A and B are shown apart, each in its own frame.
Chain A
Amino acid sequence: MLPENKTVALFVTCLVDAMRPNIGFAAVKLLGEIGADVVVPDGQTCCGQPALNSGALDDARKVARTLIDAFKGYDYVVTPSGSCAGTVVAHYPELFKDDAKYKPLAENLAARTYELTTFLADVGGWNKTDVSYDGDCAYHDSCSGLRELGIKQQPRKLLQNVSGLNLKELSEGGTCCGFGGLFSVKLGEISTAIVDKKSDDILTTNADTLLGGDLGCLLNMAGRLSRRGENIKVYHIAEILAGMANVAPIGAGEK
């Protein structure tokens, strides 16, 4: 449990905000379970990664300043994405290294920002055991989270608490799903080829559910699996842990 009188702010991320609010509510619920009274600052938009990865640093800084301002003063900033957390933690300090005003603010935010599963496992000690999900689940480690933030054991540790859930490891777990943000649209053909191989790997495990901690990658994999006509459910890990997988899986249903 978190110590009392610590404030926790949720950075929803632009993708979760627009595409799948259920993940945001699941995050709020999980944070509540470790004793946090979650605040959702109005001033948040996006971390600026699309501009950062396009080489548009001035634009990235403009968007990043908006985020830094929005999250001033909270003890912890938690986000259900390794990729967005990675941008703040691994890239903001470098992005503002020549900005006398924002450099300390960026470093300060980077030190307070956590990806959700890391926060639940390492800081909050989440250990609820009355959650269940019946299924064989493959877990995709998203690249930014895995390699920029070292997120690997945390989601697995949390999923151990879910009764009925059988975790299936991918044979090529450390390989990219091909999403890469704007890469998925700019070089869509290559992106599709990569996610096709990832889909093969997922199907080889015979899992009936695919889980991950980043909606971008999940949209990508769900999109390819559904195009191939595969019958596999895709959820964000927060939805499972919060017992909120009672909604349609990502990308399931009618075309």
Chain B
Amino acid sequence: MSGAPNNLFTYDKPTCHNFSENAHDALLDKNLQTQLSRITREGFQQKRKNAMDRLDEFDILRDRAKEIKSDVLKNLDAYLEIFEQNVIAAGGKVHWAASANDAREIILKICQDHNAKTVTKGKSMVSEEIGLNHYLEQHAIRAVETDLGEYILQLKNEPPSHIIAPAFHIAKSEVEDVFRQHHTNLDSGRDISEPKQLLNEAREILRDDFINADVGITGANMLIAETGSALIVTNEGNGDLTQSLPPVHIALSSIEKIVPTLEDASTLLRVLARSATGQDITVYTTFFTGPKRTPDLDGPKEFHLVLLDNGRSTTLGSEFSEALRCIRCGACMNHCPVFGSVGGHAYGWVYPGPIGSVLTPLMVGMDEAHTLPDASTLCGRCEAVCPVRIPLPKLLRRHRVRSYDAGKQSLLAKIGLGAWVFVATKPKLYHSIAGFKVRAWKMFAGKRTRFSWLPFLGGWTDGRDFPAPTGKTFMDLWKQKNK
């Protein structure tokens, strides 16, 4: 399968433990590499920068966005109760799902209560987190993804590789191939070489499902406590059709998506799209409050809101709580040099990139995901671009501490570190050993000033020369000079 590493993960079979092998495959995947440099560096990064440059108060808005989300997390229980009351007041139903399985069962029950055969879906990372499509299909319910990227992935049977651009790893030409392979009832001589033609074809195919779906399932970018509304942002309008056309709408969201007021929601919207795609605002921003009311022309007869915890309340009380400020813009991955080199699938679970490396160990456990906190140079660019100022490097370091304390280091690394600490805490010994090693190294180098191979340093020397030391240590030379 091109465009993605082999052995793709599913929500219940993560491949995080294989991170370095996944990364190896990704680095050799030419199509993926082309997409990565085109989309992350030339696309997302530049667009975010342009958007930021157009808005003087961007950093002030980020401070405010951080405050809003910090306040939400501090008072989450209270806001959730207010939100629930207001959803009920608007005629909706709220379902509390402690686990992924609870959420799946709740959604299945609602679908079965309505004899649903087909459900349309808006893009939802939380539904990826709980493996919803697979579960519904096991129960003879066809789930149709209506976001173009998600639709392509569904045809290819792949998970998203990015939280806002799920199919960005797939080149345009490959999309054409996938469509020809699956849309076999269409004229094989048709021209679908242009993105617009691909979009129109998908739109044509999806139209019947939009109209005939028994249930529509969307995510929610925010849940507004004071009104009991949920909101979604999309650029295709598919979310609106998924939400408003079927008789039943289920919004699946997680508890930390709460914001207190509409005012707060609009502040977060101002940083969300700019951080994500560099747009001032997404093409569609849809607020929905309860089911269709008497004067409404459109809307579902029933509205359900499924609120997923899935470990978040545990995270809330932990040293990782700041990660729950995340508004899922994807800026951290768009600016991460590691993500930019290996893409999203290599991380081996639903949430990739720096925020994924913080969230995934909390969700799938350190045994599986201990590789992820190491998958960072700690360069700090993720924190620098985060619209809610999540200190991602600090949180990655905290995971490294947990991983180290749980004994996830290799024996060689442990011995190496132990020996180094022993010496580095004894300056005299340290300097005599350093002096000796550097002289020995220099002797070994002879006339060479760089090495193309060194024992134990293959990770370095496979792709880079290692400059040789120049002779004596500074400390030896300094002592000689100051005798």
Contact = CB atoms under 8 A, between A and B. Distances in A.
Interface of A: 12, 14, 16-22, 24-25, 40, 42-46, 48, 50-57, 59, 62-63, 65-66, 70, 143-144, 146-148, 172, 174-176, 178-180, 183-197, 219-220, 222-224, 226-227, 247-248, 250-255
Given A55-B401, A189-B459, A183 B376 contact: yes
A48 B449 contact: no
A181 to B, nearest CB: 8
A142 to B, nearest CB: 9
Contacts of A196: 463
Given A21-B474, A63-B421, A250 B467 contact: yes
B284 interface: no
B447 A254 contact: yes
B417 A255 contact: no
Given A17-B474, A54-B417, A191 B459 contact: yes
Contact of B474 (A24, A46, A62, A186): A24
Interface string B441-483: 0000001111110000111101111110111111101100000
A40 B477 CA distance: 12
Contacts of A18: 434, 437-438, 469, 473
Contacts of B342: 190, 193
Interface of B: 20, 23-24, 27, 37, 41, 337-338, 340-342, 373-381, 383-384, 397, 399-405, 409, 413, 417-418, 420-421, 423-425, 427-428, 430-431, 434, 437-438, 447-452, 457-460, 462-467, 469-475, 477-478
B409 A53 contact: no
A144 B380 CA distance: 8
B459 to A, nearest CB: 3
Interface centre among A42, A189, A197, A220 (most CB of B within 10 A): A189
B168 to A, nearest CB: 18
Given A187-B23, A192-B462, A195-B463, 20 more contacts: A21-B470, A24-B478, A50-B417, A52-B397, A55-B399, A59-B418, A66-B424, A144-B380, A148-B380, A176-B379, A184-B460, A185-B459, A189-B23, A192-B464, A194-B377, A223-B460, A223-B465, A227-B464, A251-B467, A255-B451
Contacts of A20: 469-470
B424 A189 contact: no
A74 B451 CA distance: 39
A46 B23 CA distance: 31
Contact of A62 (B399, B421, B449, B466): B421
Contacts of B377: 143, 176, 178-180, 183, 191, 194
A54 B404 CA distance: 7
Contacts of A247: 470
Nearest to B477: A21
A176 B459 CA distance: 18
B381 A42 contact: no
A188 B417 contact: no
Contact of B405 (A12, A55, A143): A55
A56 B417 contact: yes
B475 A176 contact: no
Nearest to B383: A147
A212 to B, nearest CB: 14
Contacts of A45: 423-425, 427, 430-431
A196 B379 CA distance: 16
B446 to A, nearest CB: 9
Contacts of B378: 53, 143, 180, 183
B463 A192 contact: yes
B23 A190 contact: yes
Nearest to A251: B467
A55 B404 contact: yes
6 nearest A-B pairs in the assembled complex, by CB-CB distance: A188-B459, A180-B377, A192-B463, A55-B400, A253-B449, A223-B464
A53 B400 contact: yes
Contacts of A250: 467
12 contacts: A19-B467, A40-B478, A55-B403, A66-B425, A143-B380, A180-B377, A185-B459, A191-B460, A196-B463, A219-B467, A224-B464, A226-B465
Given A66-B425, A176-B381, A187-B375, A255 B448 contact: yes
A54 B470 contact: no
B465 A251 contact: yes
Given A53-B400, A189-B459, A223-B467, A147 B337 contact: no
Contact of A195 (B373, B431, B464): B464
A49 to B, nearest CB: 10
A255 B379 contact: no
A145 to B, nearest CB: 10
B286 to A, nearest CB: 35
A51 B37 CA distance: 33
Given A190-B27, A192-B462, A147 B379 contact: yes
A174 B381 contact: yes
Nearest to A57: B401
Contacts of B340: 194, 197
A51 B421 contact: yes
A254 B424 CA distance: 32
B462 A188 contact: yes
Contacts of B462: 188-189, 192
B424 A48 contact: yes
Contacts of A55: 373, 397, 399-405
A227 B465 contact: yes
A184 B409 CA distance: 16
B295 to A, nearest CB: 52
A146 B379 CA distance: 9
Nearest to A247: B470
Contacts of B449: 248, 251-255
Contacts of B471: 21
A188 B458 contact: yes
